[in-house]
Structure 1
Amino acid sequence: MNRRQFLQFTAASTLLAGCKEPLLPAIPPWLPVSVLKPAMNEGHWLRQLKHLPPSSGERKVGTVIIGSGIAGLTAAWRLQQQGYTDFVLLMGAEPFGNASAGQWQDVRYPRGAHYLPLPTMESVHIREMLAAWQIIEANPFSTQPRYDELALVHALDERIFANQQWQDGVIPHSSANSQQQQTRFFNWVNKLKQQRGRDDKPLFTIPALLSSQDQEWRDLDKQNFATWLSAHGFTDPSLRWYLDYCCKDDYGLDSQKISAWAGLHYFASCHGQSENASESSVLTWSEGLHHLAEKMLPKTAQCLQGFAININEHSQGVDVLYSAGLGKKNFILKAQRVICATPLHVSARLLPHLSSYGFDVKQHMPIHAPWLVTNVYLDRFPQEFKGVDLAWDNVVYGSQSLGYVVDTHQWLRAAKPEYTVFTAYHALNAASAKIGREWLQHASDTELLTLGLSDLQQVYGQQLWQCARGVELTLRAHAMASPSVGFLHNTGLQALQAVDGKVLFAHSDLSGYSIFEEAAWWGWQAANTILR
């Protein structure tokens, strides 16, 4: 599939029968559009590097944490919490990673992840942090903690655009047969939430490593989710669209590409509860998970701007060669231990002999799904279609995109603000992740905007431009690891999970899929190893 064919496919797939207005063919000339490609230039420079550049100086330190995504930040927070301060956090090419954020006027908005489900009983690390930040206000380790009302998503939390009107929920109201299949599926999921394996572990939980190891359930990883659904009679088109939507939302790929175990895990692992919210509730903030990432940031003196170039483990310790920025000087950090909290495709560049840790790049590298995140600055709210009111999460039925969230939804004010930011998400569920990345890299602003605004255009048409005052497009070429068929049995990931030497690994990639809780889990484990 060439670039033109891919564009035609993705653009065509977003059009629904009965769409009020067609997508605009071009960006209005007056509309400011910025395109962010976080870490892309640094990544390409690192990939093309033939020889290590010279160093302009060196510094000794006990531990270096490489990368300030959630895993690296969690490791730093845990070390600092336990009184260990002999470390530096090398921030990387994009500080905060997928938890980064932007601001327009006084509205902060996410450039990546935007919510956190209520943590499971097994997510003790998450509960401990939320309690420290007073987001959990009472009983943090009970079955039903009490959460800060400001963090719990406010009503209306979700709606879906179908048949030219808004409906509550994210599954369209449909026929009796459709509703019967939907009810059967969710009843099945609710049973799975309550079940435990022969090892007395939950069948599905977060962190995934603490799920039951019973082989009969792990064998679900040998087939894709779509095959499992069909075999169990879940064939209703509206249900299947919704399940694909969920898979892309958490994993970046649809049910044809992900493991059946991962597909069921998405639903059956969400069993966190709250004293003052429903089980389906989530925690969210205007700026998304950047709100939590900022709380984990260590003292300024321990934050080092720059990105790693090479990690050299030797008998005396570990040397980390890093650059203060493209075109700037390079330095060496001489450490006793290193926590490598970078995505594995980056770790493979930093550690050319990654195979010595049991990870073969060609055989074990997980799929990394590309994403497009679009933030639209609006000086007023566009007029709504009939049906339920504007919600936090707004989804278009039949779309290949993932809808949009309203970033001022959590604002508690007497009246709705005049202005806002809408954040729209699109996982490039192409024939391969490589095709999606190539398209992101070479697409024009017009092509990116057409794709990024497809859902908003379907809902608001031309009036979107009457309200818009700017658009920011964030291109995430390797946004997240996706749990494709066989990911549970990836021996390379298992090898990195077990590493206990001078170099430790900590990233959600180790779990085979990318969510806050998994990233934090590996950062927490690495920090605990340092603290032993």
Structure 2
Amino acid sequence: MKRRQFITGTAASLLTACQDYSSWFDLPPWLPITVLKPAMQQGHYLRHLKQLPVAQGERRIGTLIIGSGIAGLTAAWRLQQQGYQDFLLLMGGERFGNANAGQWQDVAYPRGGHYLPLPTLESTHIREMLAAWKIIEKDPFSLKPTYDELSLVHAPDERILINQQWHEGLLAHPDKNSQSQQQRFFQLMNDYQQQRGNDGKPVFTIPLASCSMDDTWRALDKLTFAQWLKQQGFNDAALGWYVDYACKDDYGLDSQQISAWAGIHYFASRHGLAANASDNTVLTWPEGLQHLAAKMLPRQQQLVNGFALNIQEQKDGVNVLYLDTTSNKVFNIKAQQVICATPLHVTKHLLPQLKGDGINWQHDMPVHAPWLVSNFYVDKFPQELKGNDLAWDNVVYGSPHLGYVVATHQWLRAAKPQYTVFTAYHAFNSASTATRQWLSTATTSELLDLGIADLKTAYGTQLWISVKGVELCVRGHAMAAPTVGFLNNKSRHYLQQADGRILFAHSDLSGYSIFEEAAWWGWQAANKVVS
């Protein structure tokens, strides 16, 4: 069976299915399926650019921020907070980056990050922002702030499918040995939360810059997480699956590839508390992290639609050549300072002169793991298997995928809505060039098979009775993965310390991709500009 439909391309590289769905004999032939490949076209253009085009005009500004992901937006918000308005924000290939969201009918849904853990005591930058937006309502810098009830994830928040029955939580407990190992593991992680290094700093916290530099603890970065688990006698299959699920959820790779320090950090660094919520609660919204990103967007006159092609520091400032996506013309912006808030695999093309200047891209480029985020537009909730009711986060035990979240879960209405969007996540567990090449040429049916796998397990073919459309979002460089040795990345440290006309801000500077780290570097860059 084939379906043909044409949709014109956009900057987000909209593609439409025209594939053989013979394995899905019950798939409605009229079902609209859209594939997004945000910023892929621009990234490939930049990578293959041999000769810079000539600028057709120039404008001047005090500070130019390149990139509208969380780091760039935080820099803009922090500048405004301190009364600095002489800046522009060059939006880049995708507004809000991995925090971007979509909408179907009146349902907003995430195309990337969808939650924020309660911020640690050390994450003062996050607490200050959340307080400014009234998400923290009281005592923002105390041990237990009071949070907006609408932002705290509502119950039921998690469930796991085991042998065709739903259970509460995300852990399987097949036998007493499994329960014993899990208890020992989480007790050890709880103990690590309290540990401080010989410099008095917490060993595991967020942001990374606040963690101890104690070499005894940092030696964990020489092992994979899987090696450390084996050394500690953790061999339970259920625990191993859960640990891999957690690593892929935050890092895109499993415990066989992730640094032991980073693996422990996932479990031991999230010790934020709330006066009005239980431990390990998260903040979430239907549109995911775009809810926060949109609050940081500057005024319209400070936004420039386009993406950078080259950055050159001069004696009298910094020249940034960019392609204006509104006019499709090339212009130059001369700024006194630039905050380069792009992922490092983009930065190396914008600033080729950095090569050899304290930078070793070939050795120190962070590993970037690809993702697939699939959104299914559902006009009627499908029938559930026995066990626990539909939750915010729904995971299939033993699956290599990462389950799905429900966009309308946070809606507070007298009656449950009849429609929703299911957002399914898949980390490819590989950062190889071959994986990204496959992604660039994969058919819609191949992507759909990955995106729908957990939903198919949960609902079977009845799902197609309810689904009215599908959006598949391919992210070839979705997140930096903290592999063995990531803590001692010299090039990253060099960029962190930059204090001249060109500053850097991106979660890649931390070596792993979460909102708090991206915001931290945006915050630091803005402070340098103002000072």
1:436 is displaced (CA, Å) by 1.9
Kept in 2, the 8 Å contact 1:23–1:454? The answer is: no
Paired residue secondary structure (1:488) = helix
Q: Does 1:51 align with 2:15?
A: no
**Alignment-derived partner of residue 19 in structure 1:** none
**Alignment-derived partner of residue 485 in structure 2:** 486
CA distance in 2, matches of 1:525, 1:143: 24
Kept in 1, the 8 Å contact 2:305–2:326? The answer is: no
Q: Does 1:363 align with 2:370?
A: no
CA distance 1:53–1:140, change in 2 (3 Å): same
Kept in 2, the 8 Å contact 1:357–1:499? The answer is: no
1:466 is displaced (CA, Å) by 0.6
Q: Does 1:517 align with 2:516?
A: yes
**Alignment-derived partner of residue 409 in structure 2:** 409
Paired residue secondary structure (1:408) = helix
Paired residue secondary structure (2:112) = coil
**Alignment-derived partner of residue 14 in structure 1:** none
Higher relative contact order (CA 8 A, sep 6+): 1
CA distance in 1, matches of 2:30, 2:340: 44
Q: Does 1:74 align with 2:68?
A: no
**Alignment-derived partner of residue 207 in structure 1:** 207
What is the CA deviation profile of residues 192-238 of structure 1, one whole-angstrom value per residue up to 9, with x for unaligned ones?
11121111111100001211111011000001000000010010000
Kept in 2, the 8 Å contact 1:367–1:482? The answer is: yes
**Alignment-derived partner of residue 324 in structure 1:** 324
Paired residue secondary structure (1:43) = helix
CA distance in 2, matches of 1:373, 1:238: 25
Matches within 5 A, 1:243-254: 243-254=243-254
**Alignment-derived partner of residue 308 in structure 1:** 308
Matches within 5 A, 1:278-297: 278-297=278-297
**Alignment-derived partner of residue 11 in structure 1:** none
Kept in 1, the 8 Å contact 2:165–2:386? The answer is: yes
| TM-score, structure 1 as length reference | 0.95
1:446 is displaced (CA, Å) by 0.5
Structure 2's unaligned 5+ residue stretches are: 1-21
Q: Which amino acid aligns with 1:399?
A: S
Q: Which amino acid aligns with 2:61?
A: V
Kept in 2, the 8 Å contact 1:27–1:446? The answer is: no
Instruction: State the aligned residue count.
Output: 510
1:357 is displaced (CA, Å) by 4.4
CA distance in 2, matches of 1:235, 1:375: 35
1:360 is displaced (CA, Å) by 1.3
CA distance in 2, matches of 1:23, 1:166: 27
Root mean square deviation, CA, Å: 1.2
CA distance in 2, matches of 1:437, 1:170: 30
**Alignment-derived partner of residue 135 in structure 2:** 135
**Alignment-derived partner of residue 124 in structure 1:** 124
Kept in 2, the 8 Å contact 1:483–1:513? The answer is: yes
Kept in 2, the 8 Å contact 1:24–1:450? The answer is: no
**Alignment-derived partner of residue 185 in structure 2:** 185
**Alignment-derived partner of residue 15 in structure 2:** none
CA distance 1:240–1:297, change in 2 (3 Å): same
CA distance 1:365–1:327, change in 2 (3 Å): farther
CA distance in 2, matches of 1:327, 1:360: 36
Matches within 5 A, 1:54-203: 54-203=54-203
**Alignment-derived partner of residue 10 in structure 1:** none
**Alignment-derived partner of residue 272 in structure 2:** 272
CA distance in 2, matches of 1:239, 1:297: 41
CA distance in 2, matches of 1:511, 1:28: 45
CA distance in 1, matches of 2:26, 2:414: 38
Structure 1's unaligned 5+ residue stretches are: 1-21
CA distance 1:88–1:234, change in 2 (3 Å): same
Q: Which amino acid aligns with 2:467?
A: A
Matches within 5 A, 1:417-436: 417-430=417-430, 432-436=431-435
**Alignment-derived partner of residue 256 in structure 1:** 256
CA distance in 2, matches of 1:381, 1:215: 52
CA distance in 2, matches of 1:482, 1:149: 32
| TM-score, structure 2 as length reference | 0.95
**Alignment-derived partner of residue 448 in structure 1:** 447
CA distance in 2, matches of 1:326, 1:152: 38
**Alignment-derived partner of residue 436 in structure 2:** 437
CA distance 1:310–1:27, change in 2 (3 Å): farther
